[in-house]
């Protein structure tokens, strides 16, 4: 009986942990990591703050886990597009457009993941996930070079450049000031503007053939 | 007399503040923001921790000021190269090579500035300084387009891509694991590898003529 009680307790704990993480992700998606505090999250979950601390040692650990779950979802979505049988050029272009569109659909979450100033534990995870994205691009670059689509190039360094370019292209348009300006009707780039610029930049950067004629001045 | 005493006190305070900031920068350059604590810094300066708190409200504020001073030096150095009378292509290439070389010369500091997980106050400053770098590239891109060196392109978005690519190309090779590997004799990119990859990536990305023939497979 003791054993079965323990098993039931472990399962109940696991379920509560899942529920807490879903609520936490919802908070971050709505208002960024700044809105994630142990007190408000405990209130959301209808548990005592002390119980929450049994599951997460603190805000930093919780934020890091919310970050890595949300980021893994994006890495998986990108990996899926990059694994289709199209040319490396088409896969890069499609992957970039999907990544930008997903970020655009959840701007607060995307900004929180990419650049919101937050606990060092999340910064640690940012470095880890940037390496996960880079690994996907290394593979794609190697395939594109092998098939003669891209010139030979140091794939690890170029993959890092791609990861940085993508993150930074989105940080500006996704940042709270840019979003406030857009809401106030000021001119700000659209998703199409950002996607087009990013695709052109990255395809040119890796030496891929461009999908549309250049707009030469 | 009261007035002159106050003036002398203000000057003395300013001098101590300068001395503290120099010591703090030295610590970060040696061992990153992780090595910057109020206690050790007070010891370095030979003052009581309480006196240090009179100058800086806490580690976050101090780290942010060290960050912005060190970053402004890099922005100024890049601005100087970009303001020479050479072609936009040559200035971009020279600016990138100088930026990478300066980072390589002070790897611990460069990694601390670009990517070390640290207080949110520093993350805030990172966003501010990325905009300062982007503004320099916007100007260069506009000049290059006006002189027919680069095709027409959305300069603000492309400048953001450049800033991201540069930071990310350096984070990998500058990160503590990569430096440890290099020290242990493992194969890791050299400064020349990183500079060459970065220059090729960025020149191709903005549609500039490449300085050397492509190594086509």
ipTM, 2 dp? 0.86
Distance from CA of A211 to the nearest CA of B (A): 14
Helices (H), ranges, chain B: 2-31, 38-45, 49-55, 59-82, 88-105, 107-114, 120-146, 155-174, 176-183, 191-205
Q: Which residue of A has its CA nearest to B207?
A: A204
pLDDT tens, B166-185? 999 988 777 666 656 555 65
Residues of B in contact with A123 (CB under 8 A): 115-118, 123
Candidate CATH numbers 3.40.640.10, 3.40.1370.10, 1.10.357.10, 1.10.3470.10; the one for domain A2-205:
1.10.357.10
Whether B168 and chain A come into contact, CB under 8 Å, resolves to yes
Contact A172 B134 (CB under 8 A): yes
Question: In the numeric block, which tokens belong to residue B165?
Answer: 């690519």
User: Does A142 score more than 90 pLDDT?
Assistant: yes
Confidence of residue A181 (pLDDT cuts 50, 70, 90): low
What confidence category does residue B204 fall into, taking pLDDT thresholds of 50, 70 and 90?
Answer: very high
How far is Cα B16 from Cα B127, in angstroms, rounded to an integer?
A: 29
Tell me how many residue pairs between chain A and chain B have CB atoms under 8 A apart.
Answer: 164
Which residues on chain B are in Cβ contact (under 8 Å) with A161?
Answer: 165-166, 168-169, 197-198, 201-202
Q: Measured on CA atoms in the order A104, A105, A110, A111, is the torsion positive or negative? A: positive
Residues of chain B with Cβ-Cβ distance to A145 below 8 Å are 217
Q: Where is average pLDDT lowest: A55-69, B175-189, B203-217?
A: B175-189
> Given pLDDT bands bounded at 50, 70 and 90, which one contains residue A6?
confident
Most B-contacting residue of A35, A67, A156, A160 (CB-CB within 10 A), to test interface = A160
Nearest CA-CA partner of B199 in B95, B76, B80: B95
B118 close contact with A: CB closer than 8 A? yes
Question: Between B193, B216, B217, which is nearest A157 by CB?
Answer: B193
pLDDT digits (tens, 9 = 90+) for A11-62: 888 899 999 999 999 999 999 999 999 999 999 999 999 999 999 999 999 9
Q: Would you give the distance in Å from CA A103 to the centre of its chain?
A: 8
Which residues of chain B make contact with A121, given a CB cutoff of 8 A?
117
A153 with B115: Cβ contact below 8 A: no
pLDDT at residue A214 in the model: 47
For residue A118, give the nearest of B123, B145, B166 by CB distance.
B123
A185: left (phi over 0), alpha (psi -120 to 50) or beta: left
pLDDT score recorded for residue B214: 47
Please state the φ and ψ torsions of residue A36, each to the nearest 5 degrees.
Answer: -95, 105
The minimum CA-CA distance between A114 and chain B, rounded to whole Å, is 11
User: Residue A44: its pLDDT value, please?
Assistant: 95
Contacts (Cβ under 8 Å, ≥6 apart) of A121: A60, A61, A63, A64, B117
Q: CA of A161, closest CA in chain B: separation in Å? A: 4
Q: Tell me which chain A residue has its CA closest to the CA of residue B157.
A: A169
Task: State in Å, rounded, how far the first CA of chain B is from the last one.
Answer: 79
pLDDT digits (tens, 9 = 90+) for B49-102: 999 999 999 999 999 999 999 999 999 999 999 999 999 999 999 999 999 999
Q: Is A172 on the interface with B (CB under 8 A)?
A: yes
- Is B123–A130 a contact, with Cβ atoms under 8 angstroms apart? no
* pLDDT at residue B32 tops 90: yes
pLDDT one-digit tens code per residue, B113-155: 998 988 889 988 998 999 999 999 999 999 999 999 999 999 9
Q: Is residue B107 left, alpha or beta, with left meaning phi > 0 and alpha meaning psi from -120 to 50?
A: alpha
User: What gap in Å lies between CA B153 and CA B142, rounded to an integer?
Assistant: 9
């Amino acid at each position: 009986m003791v054993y079965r009680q323990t098993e039931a307790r472990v399962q109940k704990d696991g379920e509560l942990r899942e529920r807490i993480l879903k609520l936490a992700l919802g908070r971050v998606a709505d208002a960024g990591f700044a809105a994630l505090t142990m007190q408000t999250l405990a209130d959301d979950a209808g548990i005592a703050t002390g119980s929450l601390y049994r599951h997460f040692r603190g805000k930093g650990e919780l934020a890091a886990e919310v970050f890595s779950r949300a980021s893994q979802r994006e890495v998986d979505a990108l990996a899926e597009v990059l694994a289709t049988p199209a040319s490396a050029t088409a896969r890069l272009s499609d992957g970039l457009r999907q990544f930008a569109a997903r970020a655009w659909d959840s701007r607060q979450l995307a900004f929180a993941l990419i650049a919101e100033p937050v606990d060092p534990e999340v910064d640690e995870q940012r470095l880890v996930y940037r390496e996960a994205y880079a690994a996907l691009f290394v593979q794609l670059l190697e395939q594109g070079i092998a098939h003669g689509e891209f010139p030979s190039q140091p794939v690890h360094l170029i993959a890092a450049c791609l990861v940085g370019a993508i993150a930074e292209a989105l940080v500006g348009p996704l940042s709270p000031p840019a979003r406030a300006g857009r809401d106030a009707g000021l001119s700000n780039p659209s998703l199409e503007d950002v996607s087009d610029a990013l695709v052109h930049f990255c395809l040119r950067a890796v030496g891929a053939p461009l999908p549309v004629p250049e707009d030469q001045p």
